[in-house]
Structure 1
Amino acid sequence: MAKLGFRMITPTGAIERAMQRNLSIMANAATGAMNQAATNIKKEGRTDIVSGGFSRRFANSFRANVYPKSGVSVGAAALIFDTVKYFDIFETGGTVHGKPMLWLPLPSAPKKIGRQRMTPALYVKQIGPLFPINRVGKAPLLAANIGISARQRATGNIGKITNAKLRKGAAGAGPKQAVPLFVGVDDVTLKKRFNLRRITAAHAAKLGAYFAENLKDD
């Protein structure tokens, strides 16, 4: 039998163009899948945080960034994170120890100064000095002076503690009275309040399905 030979002749660059087209389809699908997963994780995660008793503002600190930030890539990736440094304790639960003590705002103290959560350090920085009240057999307190009227001093009814009254007391003019603002404790045990790792893992497991949904040959 005579030997036969053959070869395929393709237009110059045809294979390269076909490979590039397939790569583009794959990159679009991979990036679309990652965006879909990240969007779902962020939405469900924030809902879970609010369900745990936290504010919408606190929930909005939970973020999901997709990379690359522009364009598409077959190696698309997502970074799930939060901007609050103590956030993770509410995911796992656990005990927070003081160094040497934790100072917790009393219910009667203002909850915030401006838009920031009330803390001793913020109080000293924004309003004025604090001084300790040591109690035998009881937790220590941090107190400040509050500005009051002559009538309030006479009746003993100082009304609601506000930042304005505290600033007046810190200024030192007029009648004033000491009021406790913080109580010191050695440690605080916090319960698990949300399930962000479970939510993230569930959508990571769906990446194959998201990829298939986004795989379109236009």
Structure 2
Amino acid sequence: MARFRYERKDGEFAAAMAAIKDPIAFAGTAAISEAGDIVKREGRADIAAAGFSKRWQNALRVNVYPRRKYSINAAALIFHNIRYAGVFEEGATISGRPRLWLPLPTAPKRAGRKKMTPALYVKTIGPLFSIERPGKPPLLAGRIATNRRGSKTGKVSLSALKRGGAGAPSTLVPLFIGIDRVNIRDRFSIRQITERAAARLGALYLKHLKV
């Protein structure tokens, strides 16, 4: 029977572990980075499929830590730059106080860089007038400038609304509709996409491990 004898040399085990530390750190970081890329790519496609703009798609971000170096403890942070995006992941019911005023297609989209709201309209354009409709949601209307015959000057425009709000001959045009609450259904699947990517981490780690 053959016998083998091993004599440990000081520092030998530590040196061996150090030799494989870098490949392990590289594989771990590369696996996390690739999983993050999968989440970003599939997540943005999911947001696009829900009908959201390029701005919403690109606002889904993935940061891998630590930055610009490899680590056994690498991690990915997945987040959306639009703070209320989670509403479309979970769904929600939003109630008014007492009403939510939603813009109609006739309302200006923005005032400068800010999204148009009734308060912003009053501040930047002119007064709003309440229109009560028995059995139907109420409306808020603004004044739009009219021509000499008392008719609207074609398409509702910001300049015509400003002239009407400033006192020019005008007529009322509905701009906002008031509702008690709005139910938002879940439209994103970012959590499921992340879970699928996380389930692939073992295979991705082996793919990048070079020892």
Q: TM-score range by the shorter chain?
A: 0.7 to 0.9
SS of equivalent to 2:181: strand
The 10-residue stretch of structure 1 (141-150 or 207-216) with the greater mean CA deviation from structure 2: 141-150
Residues 113, 163 of structure 1: 8 Å contact kept:
no
Alignment root-mean-square deviation, CA: 2.4
Amino acid in the other structure paired with 1:195 = S
The separation in 2 between residues aligned to 1:33 and 1:162, in whole angstroms, is 53
Find the counterpart in structure 2 of residue 72 from structure 1: 70
When residues 125 and 215 of structure 1 are mapped into structure 2, their CA distance, relative to the original with a 3 A threshold, is farther
The separation in 2 between residues aligned to 1:83 and 1:209, in whole angstroms, is 30
Find the counterpart in structure 1 of residue 197 from structure 2: 203
Amino acid in the other structure paired with 2:186 = K
The separation in 1 between residues aligned to 2:201 and 2:46, in whole angstroms, is 21
When residues 209 and 173 of structure 1 are mapped into structure 2, their CA distance, relative to the original with a 3 A threshold, is same
When residues 179 and 41 of structure 1 are mapped into structure 2, their CA distance, relative to the original with a 3 A threshold, is same
Find the counterpart in structure 2 of residue 149 from structure 1: 147
- 2:160 aligned with 1:165: yes
SS of equivalent to 1:102: strand
Find the counterpart in structure 2 of residue 84 from structure 1: 82
Deviation of 1:116 after TM superposition, in Å, equals 4.5
The separation in 2 between residues aligned to 1:181 and 1:91, in whole angstroms, is 29
Amino acid in the other structure paired with 2:174 = P
The separation in 1 between residues aligned to 2:83 and 2:203, in whole angstroms, is 33
The separation in 2 between residues aligned to 1:127 and 1:70, in whole angstroms, is 50
Find the counterpart in structure 2 of residue 38 from structure 1: 36
- 2:183 aligned with 1:185: no
Of residues 24, 34, 57, the one that matches 1:26 is: 24
Deviation of 1:35 after TM superposition, in Å, equals 0.9
SS of equivalent to 1:74: coil
Residues 152, 171 of structure 2: 8 Å contact kept:
no
The separation in 2 between residues aligned to 1:22 and 1:63, in whole angstroms, is 32
The separation in 1 between residues aligned to 2:172 and 2:161, in whole angstroms, is 10
The separation in 1 between residues aligned to 2:146 and 2:179, in whole angstroms, is 29
Amino acid in the other structure paired with 1:160 = K
The separation in 1 between residues aligned to 2:160 and 2:19, in whole angstroms, is 69
Matches within 5 A, 1:124-135: 124-135=122-133
When residues 82 and 127 of structure 1 are mapped into structure 2, their CA distance, relative to the original with a 3 A threshold, is farther
Find the counterpart in structure 1 of residue 109 from structure 2: 111
The 10-residue stretch of structure 1 (106-115 or 49-58) with the greater mean CA deviation from structure 2: 106-115
Q: Which 5+ residue runs of structure 2 have no aligned equivalent? A: none
Amino acid in the other structure paired with 2:7 = R
Find the counterpart in structure 1 of residue 121 from structure 2: 123
When residues 47 and 124 of structure 1 are mapped into structure 2, their CA distance, relative to the original with a 3 A threshold, is farther
Q: Which 5+ residue runs of structure 1 have no aligned equivalent? A: none
Amino acid in the other structure paired with 2:96 = G
- Structure 1 runs (4+) greater than 6 angstroms displaced: none
Amino acid in the other structure paired with 2:128 = L
